[in-house]
A and B are shown apart, each in its own frame.
Chain A
Amino acid sequence: MKKKVGLPRALLYYKFEPMWRTFFEELGAEVIVSPETTKTIKDLAVRYAPDEDCYSTKLYFGHAIYLKDKVDYFFIPRFGSDHEVNVGCPKFIGLAQVLDSLFPDFPEIIMPYYSQAKANHGKRRLLRIIFEIGLKFTYNPLKIIKAGIRAFKAQREYEEQLHISEQQLENWIKSQIFLNEKPNLKMRKKPLKLALVGHPYVLNDNLSNLDIRENLSQKGVDIITSLQMPRSTIEDQMEKLDFNLYFNYEREILGTIMYFLENNTIDGILQLAIFSCGPDSIALELASRYSRRQPETPLLQLVIDELSSEVGFSTRIEAFIDMIDRRN
């Protein structure tokens, strides 16, 4: 019988899904991913997670608890960073051991530690991690190496497809191509152009973002997400700061906002943040202060938590869109 590996569909899953899935499938394991966040999972999350964690981390707890009886292993990497100096969130590092400590009845958690920035891990460490995990599933070293190589290739291909080029960005600004869902053009002739900015685990999780993508496309809005922005554009923007923004995932968020505030090529920016997210509290303030200095492109910042109601949320978005319509 195949061994089952559980991947909770939350946090870093949205970033590294192709890599993890390919790796375990190549090793001959069965990958079980928790379903898209539902009301049940949210209730589990709110009930069992530590009450001070951010909303996304709470949802992670919900997904993990939902999966615990269905799998033989959990895969929760303690991921520090994949950049020389910039780091991720400290919670990603502690998450696996917190779950292990809070819920002793969990199946075995596979928790490799990898951090390039603070622990100076390199390719040798990766190879060791691949073998340590691989030997749990198969004793064939060739198969393990092959799985590792294919996993990284899958991740690279996924990222190449996700990140658009600067040329594509220009084409999108000129309304020649669509990058996401096609906007519904019944109500208006020309679609509004908005940038939707936030973490991948907020923008892709329809329960935590309260279905904002569907909502926007129904209102005739053409969006670009911060996940798709060309990496070179973001790095160019980060060069302009007089300090190093060392949270790797905030760079993408702030870089996108700064780019559109500076160029004024779109109608508005919508930033989604999660309540009590540490890095977001910094990025929110920086973004709002920069927007005050360059006020041409309007910026709406929305903070979400488990108590946010869909109605209040969509009212604010409608008001924002009305405001843009009046400006044009």
Chain B
Amino acid sequence: MPFTYPHFGSLTYVFEIVLRELGRTDIMLPKKPSKKTSELGSRYSPEFVCTPFKLTLGTFIEMLDLGADELGIGGGNMYCRFGLYWPVQKLILEDLGYDFKFFPIPIFDKPLNLVKSLQTASNNCTVWETIKAFRTTWIKTRYIELVDKLHFEYRALEIGKNQADRLAEEAHRKIVEIQGLGNLRRYGKKLPELFNKTIEIDKKKKKNALKIGVCGEIYVALEPTLNLDVHRKLNELGVITTNCVSFGMLIDFGRKINPFKTLPYQKARRVAKPYIGQRCGGEAQENIGDIILYKKKKWDGLVHLYPFTCMPEIITRSIAPQVSREYDMPFLSLVIDEHTGETGFQTRLEAFVDLLSRKKDKMLAS
């Protein structure tokens, strides 16, 4: 009974970790989506559904053809239509004649319900074992995200080619494979040093490199196929980037219940209150807050990505110009769907980077 799930940037490793911890040995790693995947998805999808639906459907079709028959995806009650992906995809795939089973995981539900639904997908785990597996997952996710952060920094500055890519790939794999939390912590502490030692960087470049955050709807911001690998494009222009949105923080109950720590997304929601006073799904509130927070951290700009027809992010996009004006923080909003052209996208990013570097030069001169 091979189990599979949608490809989701570096979170693909996170889902692999949780399944391994749950005792599944029959995991089929999802293929990296290609142009064909998105064409396949769009062919069978409703007309104006958001783009992640089409890409995940395409991935499922490809994986079912390869022999998978258990599909994991997010579900449950939420604000936007993401929780209704699986019922629709189930009907579509049934009509295409596949035989399979869906495992919807209610990611925004109460922790206990989340654990229970993970248990149904597990290989006969008890509740306690499931909680332990979940805990291991969120701790490993912290390091996965740390690797991403280092990766996007070193890739912008490296002198040789592809060193950072190779090292990040290795580190991700190592984190997935590592046994025991003690070993993991020891390895995690060495990570910054490891990157520093292995990759030769341009020190002069580091001083005045631009820093741009990538925020937006979480799937588009994190899945390189869908966002046309925005991080790589920016890194190649010599810009240090980071992911403003993080999946790890949402599942990190260890840090969530710690009363002495405020997580970045909680801070973002607080500072966004005057502009958008309540959650309305997606990452709308967090994105507005990030404009203010990243200005305070002295970052140079934000790139905001969202899929076509995404309901909450249209709200962000409408409010963001005002916030960006008030805080003097450059903000580029780009809509993405399966027809987005690579060249047009590249041109806009280059123009944005040019604008920022000119602004920075002016500031340094004065």
Contact = CB atoms under 8 A, between A and B. Distances in A.
Interface of A: 50, 52-53, 78, 80, 85-87, 89-91, 93-94, 97-98, 101-102, 113, 115, 117-119, 241-247, 275-276, 278-279, 281-282, 284-286, 289-290, 292, 303
B231 interface: no
B46 A246 contact: no
A101 B311 contact: no
A281 B315 contact: no
Contact of A91 (B84, B315, B322, B335): B315
Contacts of A286: 87-88, 91
Contacts of A53: 314
B253 interface: no
A119 to B, nearest CB: 7
B228 to A, nearest CB: 19
A114 to B, nearest CB: 10
Size class of the contact patch on chain B = 35 or more
Contacts of B47: 281, 284, 303
B48 A86 contact: no
A243 B75 contact: yes
18 contacts: A52-B308, A52-B309, A90-B282, A91-B311, A94-B280, A97-B276, A97-B315, A98-B315, A98-B318, A98-B319, A118-B79, A119-B278, A243-B87, A282-B49, A282-B81, A282-B88, A292-B95, A303-B47
Interface string B78-104: 111101101110011001000000001
A241 B77 contact: no
B77 A246 contact: yes
B84 to A, nearest CB: 5
Given A286-B88, A289-B92, A50 B275 contact: no
Tell which of A89, A91, A101, A119 has the most Cβ of chain B within 10 Å: A101
Given A87-B79, A115-B278, A281-B49, 7 more contacts: A50-B318, A97-B276, A243-B104, A281-B309, A285-B46, A289-B95, A303-B47
Interface of B: 46-50, 75, 77-81, 83-84, 86-88, 91-92, 95, 104, 275-282, 284, 308-309, 311-312, 314-315, 317-319, 321-322, 335
A115 B281 CA distance: 13
Contacts of A279: 81
A298 to B, nearest CB: 19
Given A90-B311, A94-B312, A101 B83 contact: no
Given A78-B278, A101-B322, A278 B79 contact: no
Contacts of A90: 79-80, 280-282, 284, 311-312, 315
Contacts of A241: 87
Contacts of B318: 50, 94, 98, 101-102
A242 B280 contact: no
Contacts of A89: 311
A94 B81 contact: no
A300 to B, nearest CB: 15
Nearest to A278: B311
Contacts of A275: 48
Contacts of B322: 101-102
Contacts of A86: 77
Contact of A97 (B46, B49, B319, B335): B319
A52 B314 contact: yes
A86 B84 CA distance: 12
- Give me the 4 closest cross-chain CB pairs, A-B, nearest first: A94-B315, A285-B46, A93-B280, A289-B91
Given A78-B278, A276-B48, A286-B88, A87 B77 contact: yes
A178 to B, nearest CB: 35
Contacts of B281: 90
A276 B49 CA distance: 8
Contacts of B280: 90, 93-94
Contacts of B314: 50, 52-53, 91
A50 B276 CA distance: 17
Contact of B335 (A52, A78, A93, A292): A52
A94 B284 CA distance: 9
A61 to B, nearest CB: 10
Nearest to A289: B91
B300 to A, nearest CB: 24
A65 B1 CA distance: 58
A102 B316 CA distance: 12
Nearest to B282: A90
Contacts of B335: 52
A317 B279 CA distance: 41
Contacts of A244: 77
A118 to B, nearest CB: 7
Tell which of A90, A118, A246, A276 has the most Cβ of chain B within 10 Å: A90
A219 B276 CA distance: 48
Contacts of A118: 79, 279
A246 B80 CA distance: 9
Tell which of A86, A98, A292 has the most Cβ of chain B within 10 Å: A98
B49 A101 contact: no
Contact of A243 (B48, B84, B282): B84
Nearest to A284: B46
A293 to B, nearest CB: 9
A53 B312 CA distance: 10
Contacts of B95: 289, 292
